[in-house]
Chains A and B, each alone.
Chain A
């Protein structure tokens, strides 16, 4: 065994007869697969993401293409979800809107994740005065009224979709930082972290290689639950006219347009409303499923 090992390049080392251990991740994966709701949700989200991502190729029309003959018509062949007041195809706009909504959801969550995890882990690990200063800063930002913050941003920097990412990201990382800090604090007292310190590992290595993998469970769960809340925020901002600007479409914007003409053309509200609701449902189900899979103690079985 040792001879073969020595002759192999470091990356090629394989233990042909070795049993490769089952990681706790794989265990969780197996548990997740047994959760039918979570799996179904994951499939729906994946499908929605795919069709949205490929909207320019799939969609029958362009998102700003108007057909002035067919304005605000109900669903019919050719326009499966009808058209809006300006004669734009509703299905197309739904697909393009999904692009924006999901993108905001994923990017903003990614930003929140990156800042929140790093910030929280550093704060929790170092503790003491560093922790106090860092967490009070979080409290202060937390206290800012979100809508006013976004309006200010829009006023000063103009209506730019990138600002939407910034605004949402700037708010969502706070909770993540708090969660991670708490987890790191309790993890810090665990013996294997002491053991890692006793081995002379540098602090950054302990934080990022030993601690974060151990708290990835709660991080993943929270991230999955952040995506829908971010999407809802985007919809809310677009609804208020602070988010995505026409002729670009987003689900929030479409719901707003639909709500304006709810009585004459209900399909304009129903389609984006149902899609958004279904997506949020699925993400929440997936988040719950992940939590049950990753945290065995909290789950019922």
Chain B
């Protein structure tokens, strides 16, 4: 039984300029201990998907129009009460945010923030929590943890703060960690350290990880399965290796071609022409079609659906589905 099954999640934002379909018919599942990557460019709906699962979508203007997210076979995260949700988030599902500089409360000591989940969820008493907090801080590699645990966030660097965030997320030993671009705001050397750290913690705790990123390199080295999102929809879903070697969607291919490291030196870097579509407008057919070099007339017409073309490998490209092109 999968740990989390998301079916037809639709999160729309009702704004003055119309309805923005930020996540449109997103379905996926994640097994216990699995690592799932979600990639896509800014505004493709990766974060909104995660926020929806955690009940963090501001409502209004956001609204979860339909769908379900069954956690552990029992609780529907999208429909359960605030109380039920509070028993799960922070305890069994934890989240690490993008920007470590703003994710910690500036007026609270690191220690107090770190052990708050333990106290809130009644996992242990204060004395034990303080002990575990210190241990967690040492685990994530904060030097001099015992000395620095009583500091305030502004006395920590960005990388250290992200470590604190990770320690905080993992202190309750969650079954699922949602990492929303945790390496985007830190510099490259710290990125690698954070990545290693989460890998290590995953091995120790056996938790599942949803890794949201726009960095294909991170996905390649870390995730077993990967979803590619574009304009609020999943366009391709495959085991990571297959995604790279037997790409089934032009968008995924274009993303790969835009990675500098994969190109011969001296050649001009490939860029995808055009810009992502305006999600507040109705999109008939494939959202990527206007930027796609393979687009034909039929790409502009519905239905565009995610279809499995190989075991475990699904694509939303109608031309690939009908074997007209191979990438």
Mutual binders A and B: yes
A residues whose Cβ falls under 8 Å from a Cβ of B? 1-2, 5-6, 8-10, 13, 15, 17-25, 128, 189-192, 194-203, 205, 210, 213-214, 216
Q: List 8 A-B contacts (CB under 8 A).
A: A1-B146, A2-B131, A19-B148, A23-B107, A23-B152, A191-B99, A199-B117, A210-B108
Q: Identify the closest chain B residue to A196 (Cβ).
A: B105
Report the minimal beta-carbon distance from B43 to chain A, rounded to whole angstroms. 18
B90 and A198 contact, CB distance less than 8 A: yes
Residues of B within 8 A of A196 (CB): 105
Report the minimal beta-carbon distance from A153 to chain B, rounded to whole angstroms. 39
B97 and A195 contact, CB distance less than 8 A: yes
Query: 8 closest Cβ contacts across the A-B interface?
Result: A200-B90, A21-B151, A199-B90, A10-B127, A200-B86, A191-B102, A198-B95, A213-B107
Q: Identify the closest chain B residue to A13 (Cβ).
A: B130
Q: Does B265 contact A (CB under 8 A)?
A: no
How many angstroms from the CA of A29 to the CA of B152 in the assembled complex?
A: 16
A195 and B107 contact, CB distance less than 8 A: no
A195 and B147 contact, CB distance less than 8 A: no
Residues of B within 8 A of A8 (CB): 127
Q: Does B87 contact A (CB under 8 A)?
A: yes
How many angstroms from the CA of A191 to the CA of B168 in the assembled complex?
A: 15
> Which residues of chain B (97-128) have a CB below 8 Å from chain A?
97-99, 102-110, 116-117, 120-121, 125-127
Set A6, A24, A191: member contacting B152, Cβ < 8 A: A24
Q: Does B22 contact A (CB under 8 A)?
A: no
B103 and A195 contact, CB distance less than 8 A: yes
Residues of B within 8 A of A189 (CB): 58
B97 and A24 contact, CB distance less than 8 A: no
B contact residues, total (Cβ < 8 Å): 49
Residues of B within 8 A of A2 (CB): 131, 134-135
Residues of B within 8 A of A194 (CB): 56, 97
Residues of B within 8 A of A195 (CB): 95, 97, 103-104, 165
B168 and A15 contact, CB distance less than 8 A: no
B residues whose Cβ falls under 8 Å from a Cβ of A? 54-56, 58, 60, 82, 85-91, 94-95, 97-99, 102-110, 116-117, 120-121, 125-127, 130-131, 134-135, 146-152, 154-155, 165, 168
How many angstroms from the CA of A25 to the CA of B109 in the assembled complex?
A: 12
Residues of A within 8 A of B130 (CB): 5, 10, 13
How many angstroms from the CA of A10 to the CA of B125 in the assembled complex?
A: 9
How many angstroms from the CA of A20 to the CA of B168 in the assembled complex?
A: 20
A199 and B116 contact, CB distance less than 8 A: yes
Report the minimal beta-carbon distance from A216 to chain B, rounded to whole angstroms. 8
**Interface centre among B60, B103, B130, B135, by most A CB within 10 Å?**
B103
Set A1, A9, A23, A200: member contacting B117, Cβ < 8 A: A200
Residues of B within 8 A of A202 (CB): 86, 120
A197 and B56 contact, CB distance less than 8 A: yes
Report the minimal beta-carbon distance from A110 to chain B, rounded to whole angstroms. 22
Residues of B within 8 A of A20 (CB): 150-151
A5 and B150 contact, CB distance less than 8 A: no
How many angstroms from the CA of A187 to the CA of B103 in the assembled complex?
A: 12
Residues of A within 8 A of B150 (CB): 15, 18-21
Set B102, B120, B125, B168: member contacting A190, Cβ < 8 A: B102
Report the minimal beta-carbon distance from A198 to chain B, rounded to whole angstroms. 4
How many angstroms from the CA of A20 to the CA of B88 in the assembled complex?
A: 33
Residues of A within 8 A of B58 (CB): 189
Residues of A within 8 A of B117 (CB): 199-200
Q: Identify the closest chain B residue to A194 (Cβ).
A: B56
How many angstroms from the CA of A205 to the CA of B121 in the assembled complex?
A: 13
Residues of B within 8 A of A22 (CB): 152, 155
Set B89, B102, B106, B107: member contacting A199, Cβ < 8 A: B89
A6 and B131 contact, CB distance less than 8 A: yes
